[in-house]
Amino acid sequence: MEIKENSKMLELAKEVFQIEADSIIKLKDRLNENLEQAISTIMSSKGRVIVTGMGKSGLIGRKIAATLSSTGTPAYFLHPAESTHGDSGIITREDVVIAISNSGETHELLNLIPLIKRFEVPLIVLAGNQSSTLGRSADIYFDISVEKEACPLGKAPTASTTATLAMGDAIAICLLKKRGFSTEDFLLYHPSGALGKGVLYSVGDLMLKDKTLLPIAHEDDTFLETVDLISKKKLGCALIVNYDNKLTGLLTDGDIRRILLRYPDVSVLDNKTVMTKSPKTVSSEALAVKALALMEKYSITSLAVCDSENKPIGIIHIHDLLKAGVA
């Protein structure tokens, strides 16, 4: 009996996923010029985005406001019930309001409409009924209606809140892209925790910069001399430079194995003959996450760090990134 009951619960959970997934997918067909209008309106605003909603819509509104704020669009959540007791004073003529209500008839939200219209503040509405009072009052309307809620009683907001959250995320990410919001910008808003940790360090913070420890060899040095250097420095590679001390190549442990298999007599080889030419490099000012991205893209474990003249000033290894919590 218990196994049968567990099976029913599993199927019910899967049905919830399917209903909510379908509700999000169907939002795509409803996007039109309203998205462009919303992005343009918010971008041209000199104030903030004021997000408001009651109950479950309010909880979703708080998340949307938080996502907007953390991705470069100043936003604030206004509780509509408190708005009629003085909190509506946070709305200025420079702001944009996003109001959320599945029915479009939430009494507390409707009380805000006179103030919004008096200040001529753009009103973006996320609702499930465009013919509702809130829907008719909208300057820009987003249809977040769903065919049915995942709740078998059809009462608890489930699919509708999921759809609303997805719509809010879409608006936030479009604004992020429009603003050219960068990884560096993201760090400013997330200096702590896992989100910010990966962008907390620059390459210069983590690289090996002690010149006495750097394995630097010359193009004309012999292959065997450089193998000995790599063994002594214990970094798994050597940076190869020319007479101007500019980086021209790299020799790694992997290269050494391939060279030993390829050449019957390695004693006659010099670095210029066997080195990897024009290796990947990174600047000390670059973010550590950029170094990690290059390593992952080219399947390498270390990068030469060079100055503006392409002279090596350090090495950053994936172990440095792991130790710092970047990777």
| Cross-strand pairs, 315 | 208, 304
> pLDDT (tens digit, 0 to 9) for every residue of the chain, 327 residues total?
566 677 788 999 999 999 999 999 999 888 999 999 999 999 999 999 999 999 999 999 999 999 998 888 999 999 988 866 555 778 899 999 999 999 999 999 999 999 999 999 999 999 999 999 999 999 999 999 999 999 888 788 899 999 999 999 999 999 999 988 776 666 656 555 555 555 668 899 999 999 899 999 999 999 999 999 999 999 999 999 999 999 999 999 999 999 999 999 999 999 999 999 999 999 999 988 889 889 999 999 999 999 999 999 999 999 888 888 776
Q: Identify the H or E element spanning 36.
A: helix 33-44
| Cross-strand pairs, 112 | none
Cα gap 287→168, rounded to integer Å: 29
Looking at residue 83, its pLDDT comes to 66
Return the domain boundaries, the chain: 2-180, 203-323
Q: Which CATH entry fits the domain spanning 2-180: 3.90.1310.10, 3.30.710.10, 3.40.50.10490, 3.40.640.10?
A: 3.40.50.10490
pTM (global) more than 0.85: no
Question: What is the distance between the terminal CA atoms of the chain, rounded to a whole angstrom?
Answer: 47
Cα gap 188→195, rounded to integer Å: 11
Looking at residue 82, its pLDDT comes to 80
Q: Would you say how long the chain is, in residues?
A: 327
Looking at residue 3, its pLDDT comes to 65
Q: Are 246 and 310 in contact (CB under 8 A)?
A: yes
Name the burial class of residue 215, with classes exposed (0-12), middle (13-18) and buried (19+) by CB atoms within 10 angstroms of its CB: buried
Neighbours of 236 (CB within 10 A): 17
Cα gap 115→268, rounded to integer Å: 85
Looking at residue 279, its pLDDT comes to 94
**If you search the block for the tokens 């009683």, which residue do you land on?**
153
Name every residue whose Cβ is closer than 8 Å to that of residue 286 and which is 6 or more positions away in sequence. 202, 203
Statement: 203-323 belongs to CATH 3.10.580.10: yes
**2-180 and 203-323: same fold?**
no
Query: Which of 276, 299, 261 shows the shortest CA–CA distance to 217?
Result: 276
